Structure 1
Amino acid sequence: MAVRDLFITRNIDELVEETGGEGERLKKTMGPFTLTALGVGAIIGTGIFVVIGQGAELAGPGVILSFVLAAITCAFSALSYAELASAVPVSGSAYTFSYATLGEIVAFIIGWDLILEYGVSVGAVAVGWGGNVNEFLKATFDVELPKAITAGPFEGGVVNLTAAVIVLAVMALLANGTRESVRANFVMVVIKIAILLFFIVVALVNFASGNLTPFLPEGVAGVTSAASIIFFAYIGFDAVSTASEETKNPGRDLPIAIIGSLVISTVLYVLVAFAAFGVAPTKQLSGSDAPLATALREGAGIPWAGAVLSLGALIAITSVVLVIMYGQVRIFFAMCRDGLLPRRFAKVSPRTGTPFDLTIVFGVLIAILAALIPLGVIVEMANIGTLFAFVLVNLGVIVLRRTRPDMKRPFRVPGAPVLPIIGVLFCLLLLAALPWETWVRFVVWLAIGLVIYFTYSRKHSRARTGERTELPAAEQV
């Protein structure tokens, strides 16, 4: 086996034209507003409502700068995602982009990585949802669910039933249809933005500048370490690209949604972080499962406002679970359709227009993960998977500019290859700040994937067998 054989690529024109045979075609239902809402729905959730408490432990008020650093890291990658998504509007996100530019072995690795990233991301936000259920119940009804059903066995509980329940509920919604799911997500996005604006106003009214000192208790190193965790707050804009095949005008709408959702979320994050540290000292925010609700309840002394924030967190986190699970299923769907994983899973329900069976399988598996694994471990695994994907997407832009310079690109990264290279360097900076245990888990996961690739995927890959499915008639939208 020649090494060169591992880097076989899929023809981009064929990928764009060929969207699967009968039973493997996704419905085109999304426009720019629903796509942008999809991105905001995926981004704003556990990161700002939960992970800000972990960041406060590492950097104090300097976590505000951590949000900025993480946003800058994402900005370069967002531009690269926008170019590739508009040029290769096929379900699968970074997996499909890599297949078209860097080769099959790289595509499989990144697809396998994305399955991990999205799966553990859903698990993490579901665990955060469970924590906010108790915050809401305490603030509103002065009751609390027992730890046995709100924490996993590694955190002093038995099973995190609340986390499992929200995953299974979202699974049912996604399996029922994409149109219904994006409508529900749009409503939730509007509500959670309104609640975050409410928090900013209330916190600024009760602002105490003394809470911001010392601003950098752990120095620049603390800001960087916190950014490697806070980065989790930005995971999600890449989920927009998984909807490429279900977008009515991908060349125009995908770049708008990817970049727009990141900008909207960044502005809100920085304002919320500034307001949070202005209303409550670091010691009250550090380690809290619901830091924003804590800030208003203990910092500002407004219990009812804390209840509103807890409700907002529940809504926000629900939309994140919805969008990220949606993205994971589409990536696995694309890999199955390409033959790298069993083709029998690449089936679309004629009733719902969704990969129904695949959605159920992933929903059950993620519910088990969320019920048993601690939040901190899940967040770190999600971050390393995402940063690795971002590195390859940036490299994909550089490679495709050299190999297909005349290819139609509705959106182009300005200043390429400089900006994609900077994007790679920022990702490497945050990767270096992650704990070594996270790297070990990641390498083990990739090793399992390589075993599957060499024993199954290479033999069944459609890029090698030359199989092309019969194209169905164009679907009316």
Structure 2
Amino acid sequence: MTTPSPTVPLRQQLFRVKPVPKPGAEGSELKRSIGLFQLTMIGVGGTIGTGIFFILSEAVPIAGPAVIWSFIIAGVVAGLSVLCYAELAGAVPVSGSSYSYAYTTLGELPAMGVAACLLLEYGVSTAAVAVGWSQYVNQLLNNLFGVQLPHALSYAPEEGGVVNLPAIALIAMCAFILIRGTSHSAITNTIMVVIKIAVLLFFIAVGMTGWNADHFANFAPFGFAGVMTGAGLIFFSFVGLDAVATAGDEAKNPRRNLPIALISALVIVTTVYVLVALTGLGAQETDKFAGQSAGLSAILENIVGASWPGTVVAAGAVISIFSVTLVVLYGQTRILFAMSRDGMAPKIFQRVHPRTKTPVANTIIVAAIVSVLAGVLPINFLAEMTSIGTLAAFLVVSIAVIVLRRREPDLDRSFRVPLYPVIPILSIIGCLWIIKDLRPITIIVFVIWTAIVLVWYFFTGRKNSALAHRPIDTRTEDAL
């Protein structure tokens, strides 16, 4: 264990920054095997399915048909943040996403705060989507074979069950694929993304045949407050876009491909979300969404009067949500890999298998912890915790763009945020606006969790930091 020099003031230790890697000097222990199309599919695969297959049953009762605006608001805020991610991904093309960006701009202590957000965003969202997957597995089994898994083995204790076994099984399967190798994982994800988009287009085509404009009559029954609360919950559905940025160490030509993949994924995801939400609302009365399990399948079954369309959607959802779990589990392991390399997490998280070039022990540990969350916690709590972690991470990235522009104006950037500094400032405001409408318990749990991570940093990470015996760079203070 190393100890920072006693002559270095505490304030300088807390805000020391990592140097920005020079073009062509981004070395990596991991294998660069992911091209532009696969990077884009990581963003799409990690996002579509995270929410759209089951989030309507949670958001429509809160916002009514005006949930359309909730989707648009969440998408705009996510879009502003993605533009900021794109600039930083092109300037700092390494694994770790917003954690690494904060480390090179704001300093070590803020980076650990972001790490707390990312552990929520990726770890908790992996559990959340796995819980949603189990609902569609039951729907598919019922449609195909007329059987369902016992309630005790497919729901959390709070929902009257004992353990969500399908969710745990999904996480185990994804961990196995990730351990085999990144190129295998990327190919598997790309195939699943193509299938999921085809299934959602099928839902739109069939759903439009049941369109009824009267379903939009009482458009905003809970007013603007309901729309914003819905946006906070729906923001969970945009988790996964920034997973592209976690692949910095494994992307080919990262300075060019990371920004393009981020923006391309955003456009695809937002378009699909709005179309699916419009179709669902036009095909089903608002009051039927509450508590509806495997909602998209149920909507089609009601329209056609037969189970086969629902079976198609349920099968698509099973494949789709599988790919989401694969991507967010991947993102979590790569963030911990970056933290471990910096001395901010135990060394076991950076150990790479010599044959597969993947962090095997890291993947197994993360999968085990996430499996516990997925097995015993209900989906609504998991979704909100994911949203606040994502929003906080997006907020910091927007701040980091401003800091890095002022600190290193001549840095090579393959993409620049348009209308600077308007876009980053609007992104910051949008994130704060949605956060304020989340439930108090969500914010309280988030604050407690962040405090725990920062205590870990102060007593352990600070002393083990890879920068502990390097010259201190505190230019962040001059940039603020």
Tell me the TM-score range normalised by the shorter chain.
over 0.9
Cα-to-partner distance string for 1:65-86 (whole Å, 9 max, x where unaligned):
1111100000000000000011
AA aligned to 1:282 is T
Are 1:316 and 2:324 counterparts? no
The equivalent of 2:426 in structure 1 is 422
Aligned partner of 1:180 in structure 2 is 184
Q: Which residue of 2 aligns with 1:474?
A: none
Does the Cα contact within 8 Å between 1:284 and 1:294 map onto a contact in 2?
no
User: Which of residues 58, 62, 77 in structure 1 aligns to 2:62?
Assistant: 58
Q: Distance in 2 between matches of 1:250 and 1:131?
A: 37
* 1:367 counterpart = 2:371: yes
Kept in 1: contact 2:13–2:462 (CA 8 A): no
- Of 142, 145, 149, the residue aligned with 1:145 is 149
Cα distance in 1 between the residues matched to 2:421 and 2:61 = 37
TM-superposed deviation, 1:446: 1.0
Residue ranges of structure 2 left out of the alignment (5+ in a row): 1-8, 472-480
2:449 corresponds to 1:441: no
Structure 1 stretch 302-311 or stretch 191-200: which is displaced more? 302-311
**1:280 aligned onto 2:284:** yes
Q: Does 1:328 align with 2:343?
A: no
Q: Does 1:6 align with 2:10?
A: no
CA RMSD of aligned residues (A): 1.4
What pairs with 1:49-198 in structure 2 (closer than 5 Å)?
A: 49-198=53-202
Tell me the equivalent position of 2:52.
Answer: 48
Amino acid at match of 1:11: P
1:144 alignment partner, SS class: coil
Sequence identity of aligned pairs in percent?
Answer: 46
Q: Which residue does the alignment assign to 1:470?
A: none
Please say if 1:234 is aligned against 2:242.
no
Q: Which aligned pairs between 1:368-447 and structure 2 lie closer than 5 A?
A: 368-447=372-451
Q: 1:448, CA displacement in angstroms?
A: 1.1
CA gap of 1:282–1:139, structure 2 versus 1, over 3 A, is farther
SS in 2 for 1:43: coil
Q: What's the TM-score, normalizing by structure 1?
A: 0.95
**8 Å contact from structure 2 (residues 121, 239) kept in 1:** no
User: Is 1:49–1:290's contact at 8 Å kept on the other side of the alignment?
Assistant: yes
Could you tell me how far 1:15 is from its partner in structure 2?
10
Contact 2:26–2:93 (CA<8 Å) still a contact in 1?
no
Q: Provide the secondary structure at the position in 1 that maps to 2:444.
A: helix
Match of 1:207 in 2: 211
Q: Residue 338 of structure 1: CA displacement? A: 0.6
Within 2, Cα distance between the matches of 1:210 and 1:116? 39
C-alpha deviations, 1:201-253, integer Å up to 9, x for none? Answer: 10112211112221111121111111110111111110000001111111211
Cα distance in 2 between the residues matched to 1:33 and 1:109? 32
CA contact (8 A) 2:153 2:163 kept: yes
Alignment of 1:259-298 (within 5 A): 259-298=263-302
Cα distance change on mapping 1:16 and 1:442 into 2, 3 Å: farther
Q: State the shift of 1:113 in Å.
A: 2.0
Which residue does the alignment assign to 1:305?
A: 309
Deviation sequence 1:410-464 (CA, Å, 0-9, x none): 0000111110000010001110010010111111111111111111111110112
CA distance in 1, matches of 2:459, 2:252: 38
Closer, same or farther: CA 15–436 of 1 in aligned 2, 3 Å: farther
SS of residue in 1 equivalent to 2:420: coil
- 1:152, 1:383 → 2: CA distance? 20
CA displacement 1:29-71 (0-9 Å, x = unmatched): 0111000111100010131001111011101111111111100
The CA distance in 1 between the partners of 2:189 and 2:223, in whole Å, is 39
Inter-partner Cα distance in structure 2 for 1:315 and 1:386: 24
Distance 1:156 1:110 in 2: 35
Contact 1:338 1:461 (8 Å CA) reproduced: yes
Aligned to 2:341: 337
Alignment of structure 1 residues 445-464 onto 2, 5 Å: 445-464=449-468
Once residues 131 and 73 of structure 1 are traced to their aligned partners in structure 2, the CA distance between those partners, rounded to angstroms, is: 29
| Bigger helix fraction | 1
Q: Once structures 1 and 2 are overlaid, which stretch shifts more, 387-396 or 133-142?
A: 133-142
Tell me, in whole angstroms, the C-alpha distance in 2 between the residues paired with 1:209 and 1:300: 18
Unaligned residue ranges in structure 1 (runs of 5+): 468-477
Are 1:357 and 2:365 matched, yes or no? no
Shift of 1:389: 0.2
Aligned residues: 463
Give the whole-Å Cα distance in 1 for the aligned partners of 2:305 and 2:265. 33
CA–CA separation in structure 1 for the residues paired with 2:322 and 2:209: 29
* Residue 136 of structure 1, CA deviation: 1.3
TM-score relative to the length of structure 2 = 0.94
Letter in 2 for 1:291: G
Q: Map 1:9-48 onto structure 2 (within 5 A).
A: 9-13=17-21, 17=25, 19=27, 25-48=29-52
Asked if 2 retains the 8 angstrom alpha-carbon contact of 1:15 and 1:90, the reply is: no
